[in-house]
Amino acid sequence: MLLIKNAKILTEKIVTGNILIEENKIIALGEVSDKSDIVIDAKGLAAIPGLFNAHTHAAMCLLRGYAEDMKLQDWLEKKIWPIEAKLDSEAVYWGTKLACIEMLKGGTTFFNDMYFFSPAVAKAASECGIRACISSAFFDFFNMDLLEENLKKVEREIKEIKSFKNIIPAIGPHAVYTVSLEGLRRSVEIAEKYNAIIHFHLAETEKEVVDFRKKTGKSIVKALDQIGFLNKRLIAAHSVWLEKEEIEILGKRNVSVAHCPASNMKLCVGKAIDFATMKNFGVNFCLGTDGAASNNSLDMFEEMKFAALLQKFYYNDPTRLKAEEVFKAATINAAKAFGVNAGEIASGKLADIVLIDLKKAQLNPDHSLIANLVYSANSGCVDTVIVDGKILVENGYFEGEEEIIERANEVAFRIVRD
Amino acid sequence: MLLIKNAKILTEKIVTGNILIEENKIIALGEVSDKSDIVIDAKGLAAIPGLFNAHTHAAMCLLRGYAEDMKLQDWLEKKIWPIEAKLDSEAVYWGTKLACIEMLKGGTTFFNDMYFFSPAVAKAASECGIRACISSAFFDFFNMDLLEENLKKVEREIKEIKSFKNIIPAIGPHAVYTVSLEGLRRSVEIAEKYNAIIHFHLAETEKEVVDFRKKTGKSIVKALDQIGFLNKRLIAAHSVWLEKEEIEILGKRNVSVAHCPASNMKLCVGKAIDFATMKNFGVNFCLGTDGAASNNSLDMFEEMKFAALLQKFYYNDPTRLKAEEVFKAATINAAKAFGVNAGEIASGKLADIVLIDLKKAQLNPDHSLIANLVYSANSGCVDTVIVDGKILVENGYFEGEEEIIERANEVAFRIVRD
């Protein structure tokens, strides 16, 4: 039993009280007894649900700050791709671990990843104790032989990913410009076979949308709908360049989107996701950081602020994407998308809890906890992080972080140098 | 003598070595002896110049999170103004102190303020040990009697502000929609008389620009130029809605602008400042957070990221406002604007130095220190802050911060409640 005492608890109403945890679940809230093996005195701390990072490429931390302020094609062709070609399983493992401790120390208790060497990603995440959805990503470049080969790899990897504790498997067909419609159709079959998530990049740039229409005469969403690709398993990252009718279809098919505002701004996608229309059509709206090479941090507090401010600015409406809405995007909406029994602090939910240090200057005065979390907090405000009932971060410290940082730095400099 | 040992020093080239400080100045860099009264072991820390917040309303911290996600007029008329009407000198004093510790703990060693009860602002800043430019702000609402009365108050306050150590006085004519051209002309006279800065809001919204043209038939900048308002003393906050010709004039007149990206986005000003044109015409480009009621934090690391990403996104060019350029905006450019002998780490400069904890996960790997500072760091990465040769923040802690937070909360809840 683990007892969190005297916390300011962010539930539907904000209450000050205790949280009792048994094994990996919250079993009581409020006036509960303090007979527990472990007691955390949370006076001066707020207890909030752990944050969900709904789209990232964790191991890209290795390339953080490696190439900046460049045109997209130059950046990819001259810098990112040549280095990624040198990645191996060990590099991805340490890069992912670095990302995991950055996320955990920043209050993120779940991440949705797409990258190479996915079993190494799953191993790293699982060892760090963070919850995650790990995709086995693939391209087929419209070559059916390559598709068959890659789907075999995907099935192999999904089985391996499934074996790790608290890791949800996903299939990751990259995008319509790298994967054939046949590849996407087959992805759905595989996802159903393994009860997996589908993790996909959708309509990130105008070029993607225009090129697809030139090639097929259709909008991406309509084409995907025709092959049955759109369903509740799908997490569509970015989803920027969509027409109203396409958003309506996403809503009808129970698709979740993962908005990545900082990355969209940094990579100049040219438009902001249309939150109001998505809300209107009931699209499940989630939030992600994207990879650290295009962000360059994995701080979901910062991402919430970017999301809210970008909506307001781009659509010239300060009432858009309110603090409560963006907080839900980073918690309960994503919990729903991935079928994780968390995202809020309530009895019966998984004990994925973050304690925020309310004594930080930037969180005072506390006229509104939710506004302070969204607009004023950052990763530096996190004191304690509990995932699956286990304390992983205490006083802002993750045990063993020094070694992870050191090893990740070694592989980062090795791949850049060699 | 104060010696910082084994720091990774951010100068033109990054060097690892020592920094020797005598009284309030850096007197040597590199291989210097360690015979000093105080020695800071800065292994694993980067030494960077303290950041300059070139536009804020510090005491508005009191209203942080008080009113969110509202239309601008509702927000001002129903929430902000009624509360501001209840402010007194004591409230401003504690609100400013709260802002000062937030800024200092976030690596900001200088701020440029405009608010009511300016002597209380100066007292608070001076007691916290931060460097600042404090304006005596005024409106005349185009009433010449009110102007005379307010200019008397301004002169009185400037004399008082000047008496505080490390505080630069300024006159703060609010904006063209609240101050007459005569009021602006007289501001220049007073600034010259007291060798003061002029702190002003310029072209923040389209409405301001359109209304002024309707009233006068002129562009704001041309009208200001005709009365001699544009000169090297002027810090023009926002400067968003300017034509190319106006920016050219600002450049010729050696005006400094203070860009506030997060506030501009949150308040929906509808456009992004045009950095490229400003760079072209040699306008001195600085950066500010604006007040916490419209940001809602005073974190210059976050502000640098917002600035860079907003430029790239809005102008669809990832090469705009590069990491080095935005870092200069937050340091050396502002130092120049305010005539402060700081903004870089070099022998002979004031000892305003921030030590950054390079062991933070989000600052690894360190492929580029400057990219990590701009795109990955936040206030939580600050370990030690030295202003004017004095250590004000150590291990992220400012002595006496608890009392400041407590007292600021008391006044914040008093003015909101009463």
The interface predicted TM-score (ipTM) is 0.98
Of A106, A375, A401, the CB nearest to B296: A375
Task: Let me know if residue A372 belongs to a domain.
Answer: yes
- Please tell me the distance from the alpha carbon of residue A170 to that of residue A190, in angstroms, as a whole number: 9
Residue in chain A lying closest to B62 (CA): A365
Name the residue range of residue A175's domain: 51-338
Taking residues B18-30, what's their average pLDDT? 95
Coil/strand/helix, residue A201? strand
Query: Which of B30-44, B217-231, B292-306 has the lowest average pLDDT?
Result: B30-44
Which of the listed residues A288, A310, A338 is the one where a domain comes to its end? A338
Given a cut of 90, whether residue A72 has pLDDT beyond it is: no
Please name the member of A268, A365, A371 whose beta carbon is closest to the beta carbon of B318: A268
Nearest-CA neighbor of B76 among A367, A310, A373, A318?
Answer: A318
Residues in chain B: 418
Is the pLDDT assigned to residue A418 strictly greater than 80? no
DSSP-derived letter for residue B373 is I
* Together in a domain, B117 and B237: yes
The number of domains in chain B is 2
- The residue of chain A with its CA nearest to that of B400 is A361
Question: Is a pLDDT exceeding 70 seen at residue B349?
Answer: yes
Q: Do B318 and A70 touch (CB under 8 A)?
A: yes
Quick check: B30 pLDDT over 90?
Answer: no
Whether residue A362 sits in one domain with residue A279? no
pLDDT band at B31 (very low <50, low <70, confident <90, very high): confident
Name the DSSP class of A50. Answer: P
Closest chain B residue by Cα to residue A262: B309
Asked if A388 contacts A166 with a C-beta cutoff of 8 angstroms, the reply is yes
Q: What is the pLDDT of residue A34?
A: 67
CATH code for the domain of A373: 2.30.40.10
Q: Are residues A180 and A328 in the same domain?
A: yes
User: Which residues is B391 bridged to in the sheet?
Assistant: B386
- B-chain CB neighbours of A416 within 8 Å are 367
Note whether residue A410 is domain-resident.
no
Spell out which residues of chain A touch residue B364, defining contact as CB-CB under 8 Å.
61, 64, 98, 405, 408-409, 412
**Exposure pattern of A189-216 as b/e (b: 16+ CB <10 Å)?**
ebbeebebbbbbbbbbbeebbeebeeee
Do strands B390-394 and B397-398 pair parallel, antiparallel, or not at all (unpaired)?
antiparallel
Q: Which residues of A touch B322 (CB under 8 A)?
A: 68-69
Are A253 and A206 contained in the same domain?
A: yes
Cβ–Cβ gap A361/B66 under 8 Å: no
Residue B310 lies in a domain: yes
B375 and A297: CB-CB below 8 Å? yes
Instruction: Beginning with the edge strand found earlier in the chain, give each strand of the sheet holding A284-287 in spatial order.
Output: A51-56, A108-115, A131-138, A167-173, A197-202, A234-238, A256-259, A284-287
Checking if the pLDDT of B244 tops 70, the result is yes
Tokens 């007979």 belong to residue: A35
Residue B88, token pair as written in the block: 């007194």
Q: Do B299 and A368 touch (CB under 8 A)?
A: no
Say what the pLDDT of residue B418 is: 72
Looking at the structure, tell me whether residues B117 and B219 fall in a common domain: yes
CA distances from A301 to A103, A326, A340 (A): 10, 10, 20
Instruction: Tell me: do B219 and B356 sit in the same domain.
Output: no
Average pLDDT, chain A: 97
Q: Are residues B366 and B266 in the same domain?
A: no
Cβ-nearest to A268 among B264, B316, B361? B316
In angstroms, the separation between the Cα of residue B297 and the nearest Cα of chain A is: 5
Indicate which CATH number applies to the domain containing A136. Answer: 3.20.20.140
Average pLDDT over residues A322-341: 98
Of B98, B365, B378, the CB nearest to A379: B378
In chain B, the residue whose alpha carbon lies closest to the alpha carbon of A105 is B361
Residues B114 and B252 in one domain: yes
Q: Please report how the helices B118-128 and B89-105 are oriented relative to each other, as an axis angle in degrees rounded to 10.
A: 40
Q: What is the pLDDT of residue B34?
A: 67
Cα–Cα distance list, A14 to A3, A30, A45, A169, A370 (Å): 18, 11, 13, 35, 10
Q: Are B381 and B287 found together in one domain?
A: no
In a domain, B109, yes or no: yes
B248 and B137 in a common domain? yes
**Which residues does chain B have within 8 Å of residue A323's beta carbon, measured at their own beta carbons?**
68-69
**Residue A30 belongs to some domain of the structure:** yes
Furthest-apart CA atoms within chain B: distance in Å: 67
Which residue of A lies nearest to B265 if distances are taken between CA atoms?
A: A313
Q: Which residues of B touch A70 (CB under 8 A)?
A: 318-319
- Going by C-beta distance under 8 Å and a sequence separation of 6 or more, which residues neighbour residue A46? A7, A8, A9, A10, A355, A356, A358, A369, A373
Q: What's the rounded mean pLDDT across residues B170-190?
A: 98
Burial of B315 (0-12, 13-18, 19+ CB in 10 A): middle
Contacts of A206 in chain B (CB under 8 A): none
Same domain, yes or no, for A272 and A354?
Answer: no
Residue B165 included in any domain: yes
- H or E element in which residue A197 lies: strand A197-202
Q: With contacts defined as CB-CB under 8 Å, which chain A residues touch B376? A: 64-65, 292, 296-297
pLDDT digits (tens, 9 = 90+) for A357-388: 999 999 999 999 999 999 999 999 999 999 99
Tell me how close the Cα of A191 comes to any Cα of chain B, in angstroms.
Answer: 33
H helices of A134-266, in order, are 144-162, 181-194, 206-216, 220-226, 244-252, 261-266
In one-letter notation, the amino acid at residue A240 is V
In a domain, A288, yes or no: yes
Cβ atoms of B360 and A361 closer than 8 Å: no
Do the chains contact at A64 and B364, CB–CB below 8 Å? Answer: yes
A75 with A117, same domain? Answer: yes
Query: Is pLDDT at A111 greater than 80 in this prediction?
Result: yes
Query: What pLDDT, in 10s, does the model give residues A130-149?
Result: 999 999 999 999 999 999 99
For residue A390, count CB atoms less than 10 angstroms from its CB and return exposed for 0-12, middle for 13-18, buried for 19 or more: middle
What is the distance in angstroms between the Cα of B312 and the nearest Cα belonging to chain A? 6
Structural domain includes residue B412: no
Residues of B in contact with A316 (CB under 8 A): 268, 270
Question: Residue A182 has what pLDDT?
Answer: 98
